[in-house]
Structure 1
Amino acid sequence: MIEKISDAVGTIYLPTHIKRVTKAEAEEKKIEALINIEITEIKQRALKRHIQEEGKKQENIENITAEALGRLKGEI
């Protein structure tokens, strides 16, 4: 008899349980998406910083090369 009552309660509770599990899974996916967005933003900032640093290095290389060429032309 106890098993039948337990089964009946379980059957009645099942839809509620399914809804709670579904909501929890949806919340988990939402949190994962937000984390991925944050990671993407961090990567974008890092990439932007890297591009700026490399641009400055390239500019320095070109300035040094231009100055060296100017000095070499003066020696010829």
Structure 2
Amino acid sequence: MIEKISDAAGTIYLPTHIKRVAKAEAEEKKIEALINIEITEIKQRALKRHIQEEGKKQENIENITAEALGRLKGEI
């Protein structure tokens, strides 16, 4: 008797349980997507910073080379 009541209660509760599990899984996917977006933004900022740093380095190299060339021409 108790088993039948327990089975009936489980059957009645099953749709609610399925909905709760589905909502939890959807929330999990939403959180994962937001995290992926945040990671992508961080990577983009890091890449932008790296490009700026390398640009400054290249500009310094070119300035030093131009200065050295100017001094060498003055010696000739």
- TM superposition shift of 1:55: 0.3
Q: What are the superposed Cα offsets for residues 34-63 of structure 1, whole Å, 9 maximum, x if unpaired? A: 111111111111111111111011000000
TM-score, normalised with respect to structure 2? 0.95
Aligned counterparts, 1:1-76, within 5 A = 1-76=1-76
TM-score, normalised via structure 1 length: 0.95
When the two structures are aligned, how many residues end up with a matched partner? 76
Instruction: Please identify runs of 4+ aligned residues in structure 1 that moved more than 3 A.
Output: none
Q: Secondary structure at the match of 1:50?
A: helix
Q: How high is the sequence identity, in percent, across the aligned residues? A: 97
State how far apart, in whole Å, the 2-side matches of 1:68 and 1:3 are. 93
- Give the unaligned 5+ runs of structure 1: none
CA shift, 1:71, in A, is 0.8
> For residues 62 and 22 of structure 2, what CA distance do their matches in structure 1 show?
59
Report the Cα distance in structure 2 between the residues aligned to 1:44 and 1:64, rounded to whole angstroms: 30
Report the aligned-residue RMSD.
0.7
